[in-house]
Amino acid sequence: MVDDEKPMSLTRAERRRRSEASILGAARELLAERGFERTTIRGVAERAGVDPALVMQHFGTKDDLFAAAATWSVPIHGLLGAGREDLPHAAIEHVLDAFEDPELRGTAEAVLRSCLTHPAAGTIVREQVLGSAQAAVATTIGGPDAELRAALLNACTLGLSIARYLLAVPALADVDRADLERVLGPALQALVDPT
């Protein structure tokens, strides 16, 4: 995301916006690749083609930069609109969409990559990502174990995301969506419908 096009004589506000976007993009890339600790302000600045101090000027602090790059508005509409039969399908679509849309993927990977080692990232995943999905899924499931079943369904899709996209486990990374849905669907259905 090195945006080398810096055409001269651009409005000041426009330049400002572009460099901010460039920094944010570079930050997301590096956070997605390496996680919070191994991502340095200097590295972000270099990839953005900018001075390190400018990064601070825009975002204040490394933690603030992370917060800005990791703001992840999870779209749970697909989950809320699904009935019991569609839920597994919707849940799988939900996670695959997040990682295969190039727009969303950077953010998703950046948050997930650091969620085990950076407290703020862990909180985001626990409360926003898993939390909101769990609430949505639990109401559809219903019954005494609804929360547990929803949490387990989330844990499975979380495990799939991590294994497929972050760890790149061969058997999962090389498979296409259709096979994934065909095989995992019935398993998630068993979580939705108590035997």
Q: Which residues bind DNA (CB under 7 A)?
A: 8-13, 15-16, 18-20, 39-43, 50-54, 56-57, 61-63
- Residue pair 134/147 in contact by the 8 Å Cβ criterion: yes
Q: Which amino acid is at 56?
A: M
Q: How far is the CB of 34 from DNA (least distance, A)?
A: 10
Q: How far is the CB of 106 from a copy of itself (least distance, A)?
A: 15
* Residues in contact with a copy of itself by the rule CB under 8 A: 34-35, 37-38, 112-117, 122, 125-126, 130, 134, 145, 147-152, 154-160, 162-164, 166-169, 171-172, 175, 179-180, 183-184, 186-191, 194-195
Q: How far is the CB of 1 from DNA (least distance, A)?
A: 15
Nearer to a copy of itself, 21 or 187 (CB): 187
* DSSP letters spanning 119-182: HHHHHIIIIIIIHHHHHHHHHHH-STTHHHHHHHHHHHHHHHHIIIIIS--HHHHTS-HHHHHH
Q: How far is the CB of 11 from a copy of itself (least distance, A)?
A: 40
CA 72 to chain centre: 7
- Residue pair 78/90 in contact by the 8 Å Cβ criterion: yes
- Alpha-carbon span 167 to 160, nearest angstrom: 10
95's contact among DNA, a copy of itself, none, with CB below 5 to 8 A by partner kind, is none
